[in-house]
């Protein structure tokens, strides 16, 4: 009861602007303080898991935001006509999405996290042709040979004095370096990602 009283008192003068400033300060500390970063991540897992205290604090912050949103809705003439479907609405389906991806073999575990890896050669996000063209031009770029004063083709491999290549990437290493990162649907600590919520929204709609 004491905590609820403090929340009521705080909500009377807490604006969205103050919340934004709070977020900026928290983000700065998150980037600089490893202990705070870990605590923040653990709190996300608790919130997604339905911890009562975390849910109560989250609902309080949502209430402050919702008041500001309502003023915008009134200006647009749509107040009372919208059905709220925030990120949290899809939280109930996240475990189901993860299990579906796991059981179908679409997602696999990597370093404790559940990931969806793109197929070999798959162009994720487009722009693949343009990227390959830039890489080819970069490899063909000429550079001055400081020892001879001539020009040599840069093939991505360092050469020793006897002309033999050293440090040349193998085909496997080249393929791995060009592979786009996986889509993480569940972190090693059990937390879900924005992508998981997006997948739940797609399925719901």
Enter the pTM of the model.
Answer: 0.56
Residue (of 57, 180, 161) closest to 115 by Cα position: 180
Q: Is residue 126 a contact partner of residue 135, using CB atoms and an 8 Å limit? A: no
pLDDT of residue 32: 95
Burial of 179 (0-12, 13-18, 19+ CB in 10 A): middle
Q: Per the structure block, which two tokens stand in for 15?
A: 């604006």
Digit-coded pLDDT (tens) for 147-189 = 444 443 433 433 334 444 444 455 555 455 567 889 999 999 8
Residue (of 136, 178, 177) closest to 155 by Cα position: 136
Residue (of 59, 81, 60) closest to 70 by Cα position: 81
Confidence of residue 25 (pLDDT cuts 50, 70, 90): very high
Q: Per the structure block, which two tokens stand in for 4?
A: 């609820």
Burial of 89 (0-12, 13-18, 19+ CB in 10 A): middle
pLDDT of residue 180: 81
Q: Is residue 125 a contact partner of residue 194, using CB atoms and an 8 Å limit? A: no
Separation CA 40–CA 59 (nearest Å)? 17
- 3-state SS record for 98-163: HHHHHHCCCCEEECCEEEECCCCCCCCCCCHHHHHHHHHHHHHCEEECCCCCCEEECCCCEECCCC
Mean pLDDT score across all residues of the chain: 76
User: In the chain, what percentage of residues exceed pLDDT 70?
Assistant: 65
């Amino acid at each position: 009861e004491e905590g609820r009283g403090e929340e009521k008192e705080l909500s009377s003068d807490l604006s969205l602007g103050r919340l934004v400033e709070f977020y900026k300060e928290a983000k700065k500390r998150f980037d600089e303080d490893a202990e705070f970063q870990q605590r923040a991540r653990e709190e996300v897992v608790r919130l997604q898991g339905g911890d009562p205290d975390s849910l109560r604090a989250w609902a309080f912050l949502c209430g402050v935001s919702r008041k500001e949103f309502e003023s915008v809705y009134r200006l647009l003439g749509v107040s009372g006509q919208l059905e709220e479907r925030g990120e949290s609405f899809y939280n109930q389906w996240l475990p189901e999405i993860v299990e579906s991806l796991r059981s179908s073999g679409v997602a696999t575990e990597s370093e404790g996290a559940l990931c969806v890896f793109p197929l070999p050669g798959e162009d994720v996000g487009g722009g693949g042709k343009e990227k390959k063209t830039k890489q080819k031009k970069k490899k063909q770029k000429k550079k001055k040979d400081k020892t001879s004063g001539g020009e040599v083709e840069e093939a991505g491999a360092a050469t020793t004095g006897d002309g033999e290549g050293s440090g040349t990437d193998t085909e496997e290493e080249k393929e791995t370096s060009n592979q786009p990162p996986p889509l993480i649907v569940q972190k090693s600590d059990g937390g879900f990602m924005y992508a998981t919520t997006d997948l739940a929204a797609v399925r719901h709609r």
